[in-house]
Chain A
């Protein structure tokens, strides 16, 4: 039934009701007709009985035995099938009649003849024949028969019923089809539309038919529902299209960005490569030139010496004196050439160590012997403090000699009629030995100290003309010391004197360790409690470095994660979002610069500070790409843990922000602030400074102008445009020669400009103090 359409269901229903109703009517009519027929036959039988009893009674009264009774003539008509007369005492009929053509068997008479009975089913009637004195004369048997007209009537009735039934059925179907359509059509359409909507998801369709009553309401509701769905769907589609469009735009932007990053990275990588090649070419050129310069210089020095000897022999003092000047100039030139050769070898990475074991006191004695003419030249005296039992050390003796000579020669240059002291002693740890050269010379300002160890830069341009030298000596010595995993440090007071200290390991290892200063006592611990260990991600292709750094950081209170490649590092960083990242630059596959760039472009990772660990090259680029700090390899564990702690430590409530790319200047100014009891935080350029500024506003900013990455001008522009920062006082500390335009720009935006090399410690503090005290900066 379910598979039939509603219209057919309705038609069948109407048909069924018609059929049942008509059938009931027919049955009723038929029964009525039958009863009618029966009563007619009965009344006919009764009439015949009366007639025949009336006729028979006198005959039987006269002659009870009359056997010649002609029943056919005694009132039997065509509707009587059979008749018989029984008399008491006899079981056989006295007379009987059977209509011609009928086969009737006369049944035996009942026992009681006096009783009249009628069997309507068989149309049989028994009637007693009585005399005038109520004596029973006999019994009459009559059996009626349906007449032809009776039969005809029944047939007609059936025919009529059939006709009526058919017409009614036809009418019902017609009505169901014609009129039923009015009801079913809307429902059918509703069903069709619903099914079509379900199939095609075309919510624009509507049920067109109108209907009244509940179906009308149903259609209206259905249409309204479709309307709502259509609206929502189109809104959804629109939103999806908008989102799709936005997604496309985003993807496009991403592609553009990635392409740009890739281009930039390629350019940068090429720039680095070019720079490295240029640097190598320069070093090789310098080495070759130095050699070419020395050959003629050898001849000049040699022949001048011969001539001088001859002049002395001849007693020609004036010529000998002149030749001395030539020789001094030539030797000076040779010294310069040797320095250039050394520095170019160091820069080209071709300077090697030749380690041997030697007696310290004996070597120091030889150096003193060589240096003493220099020292006594300006009326200085030499004090030697080198215990004879200092013992032996294992290092590059030639380089140690050169370093000591350089320091003694410098001390002699800048000291007049003073004392130069060489102190040698082993440190209590037994692992290091220190050579300190102390003078009572002119000393240096803090600013001069910061540039002291840089190649090609003497404390002051005027120094070269006054004191001579290339200014390479200290840079070379520092490099030598660092090659032997030691260092040279300096302390100096202007006008009082300077102390240069060479610290070297007693036993210099040939194989350079990858991580130095790993002694746990001096590691800086995490600024957070043990239960809140900051997460640090180390990205370096060198497994040894990963293992060593993990160990050190684990001991220092950090949770360490490592990645052996750039891509792995990026994936891990995105997954765990570390508090800080330590990143190697030179890695196969994706290099550190690319990783840094990608980190900076991920919103979730852009603010995570990145400390770069690197060999020598490409640092400026890393800084300009947004590194928070840059450390050199071999990794100095003290330095690394100190830097991590600084980067992660919460900012003090009030602090000075120092933005300066030169490490020595940073250290110097930070110490200066520290001695005054002021908190400070350093940033290597504008990018790193912004990361700190976003955390908390400083009481003031000390800003260098020339920096890799975001420079001082760019940072200043950002600061003055941000209402949250525009009130922060800024002091410029620069070595740039400012143009009038620059000064005009800086003056209204800063509280002061100090020029590197021209300001003293007091100048700096004097400029900072009022500002900082206004901000009630306190150190705790």
Chain B
């Protein structure tokens, strides 16, 4: 099953999304700040990254830029999640290299559609 790296500092949001995505068969890996997110992306090479934008240590925009700058991780699709439904954030996220964008609170069906769409666009490598 596709492996999703969830970078999110809020414990409740992390818990909810993990449980709901796992229920739908995804493998979830967790990172609690931008730095850890970039490290885990490199180490685990997930099939998709859900990136919160307001993160401690390294924020989501910078973390995304690093992921997209690294040859080993640049092919991994990134969906930006922002707390504020701000159009500015959307453009900023896309500018940082994110492949898609969604707002929190997460509307799960909409998010699932976006995940599936991206996974079709960037098919996961066959499991090693």
Among B1-33, those with CB < 8 Å from A are 10, 12-13, 16-17, 19-20, 23
Among A686-726, those with CB < 8 Å from B are none
CA distance A305 to B83 in the complex (A): 18
Residues on the B chain within 8 Å of A299, using CB: 12-13, 16
A427 contacts the other chain (Cβ, under 8 Å)?
no
A309 touches B87 (CB 8 A): no
A291 touches B83 (CB 8 A): yes
B87 touches A354 (CB 8 A): yes
A294 touches B83 (CB 8 A): yes
A309 touches B23 (CB 8 A): yes
Residues on the A chain within 8 Å of B17, using CB: 302
A398 touches B87 (CB 8 A): yes
B88: which of A294, A352, A399 is its contact (CB, 8 Å)?
Answer: A352
Bitwise interface map of B from 99 to 110 toward A, beta carbon under 8 Å scored 1, else 0:
000001110100
Of the four ranges (under 10, 10 to 19, 20 to 34, 35 or more), the interface on chain A belongs to: 10 to 19
Q: Is the interface of B mostly helix, strand, loop or mixed?
A: helix
B91 contacts the other chain (Cβ, under 8 Å)?
yes
A642 contacts the other chain (Cβ, under 8 Å)?
no
B87 touches A297 (CB 8 A): no
A298 contacts the other chain (Cβ, under 8 Å)?
yes
A396 contacts the other chain (Cβ, under 8 Å)?
yes
Residues on the B chain within 8 Å of A301, using CB: 105
A303 contacts the other chain (Cβ, under 8 Å)?
yes
A354 touches B20 (CB 8 A): no
Bitwise interface map of A from 641 to 652 toward B, beta carbon under 8 Å scored 1, else 0:
000000000000
Residues on the A chain within 8 Å of B12, using CB: 298-299, 302-303
A376 contacts the other chain (Cβ, under 8 Å)?
no
A354 touches B105 (CB 8 A): no
Closest to A334 in B: B105
Shortest distance between the CB of A398 and any CB in chain B (Å):
5
A302 touches B88 (CB 8 A): no
CA distance A399 to B85 in the complex (A): 11
| Given A299-B12, A301-B105, A306 and B84 contact (CB-CB distance below 8 Å) | no
Shortest distance between the CB of A330 and any CB in chain B (Å):
9
Of the four ranges (under 10, 10 to 19, 20 to 34, 35 or more), the interface on chain B belongs to: 10 to 19
B90 touches A303 (CB 8 A): no
Among A338-387, those with CB < 8 Å from B are 338, 352, 354
A306 touches B87 (CB 8 A): no
Bitwise interface map of A from 116 to 143 toward B, beta carbon under 8 Å scored 1, else 0:
0000000000000000000000000000
A354 touches B83 (CB 8 A): no
Residues on the A chain within 8 Å of B13, using CB: 298-299, 302
Residues on the A chain within 8 Å of B108, using CB: 305
CA distance A354 to B12 in the complex (A): 31
Question: Which of B16, B17, B85, B87: most chain A Cβ within 10 A?
Answer: B87
CA distance A298 to B84 in the complex (A): 12
A305 touches B20 (CB 8 A): yes
CA distance A297 to B88 in the complex (A): 23
B16 touches A297 (CB 8 A): no
Residues on the A chain within 8 Å of B20, using CB: 302, 305-306, 309
CA distance A354 to B87 in the complex (A): 7
Closest to A396 in B: B87
B23 touches A298 (CB 8 A): no
CA distance A40 to B115 in the complex (A): 179
Question: Which of A302, A398, A399: most chain B Cβ within 10 A?
Answer: A302
CA distance A352 to B84 in the complex (A): 14
| Given A309-B23, A334-B105, A303 and B85 contact (CB-CB distance below 8 Å) | no
A306: which of B19, B91, B104 is its contact (CB, 8 Å)?
Answer: B19
Residues on the B chain within 8 Å of A291, using CB: 83-84
Shortest distance between the CB of A351 and any CB in chain B (Å):
10
Closest to B24 in A: A309
Bitwise interface map of A from 279 to 314 toward B, beta carbon under 8 Å scored 1, else 0:
000000000000100110111011101100100000
Residues on the A chain within 8 Å of B16, using CB: 299, 302-303, 305-306
Residues on the B chain within 8 Å of A354, using CB: 87-88, 90-91
CA distance A301 to B12 in the complex (A): 11
Closest to B23 in A: A309
Taking Cβ atoms with an 8 Å cutoff, the residues of A that contact B are 291, 294-295, 297-299, 301-303, 305-306, 309, 334, 338, 352, 354, 396, 398-399
Kindly list the 10 A-B residue pairs having the minimum CB-CB distance in the complex, ordered from nearest.
Answer: A302-B16, A298-B105, A354-B87, A299-B12, A398-B87, A301-B105, A354-B91, A306-B19, A298-B104, A306-B20
> Could you show 14 A-B contacts with beta carbons less than 8 Å apart?
A295-B83, A297-B105, A298-B13, A298-B105, A299-B12, A299-B13, A301-B105, A302-B20, A302-B106, A303-B12, A303-B16, A306-B16, A306-B20, A334-B105
Taking Cβ atoms with an 8 Å cutoff, the residues of B that contact A are 10, 12-13, 16-17, 19-20, 23, 83-85, 87-88, 90-91, 104-106, 108
Instruction: Name 12 extra pairs, CB < 8 A, besides A297-B105, A306-B19, A354-B87.
Output: A294-B105, A302-B12, A302-B106, A305-B108, A306-B20, A309-B20, A309-B23, A352-B87, A354-B91, A396-B87, A398-B87, A399-B87
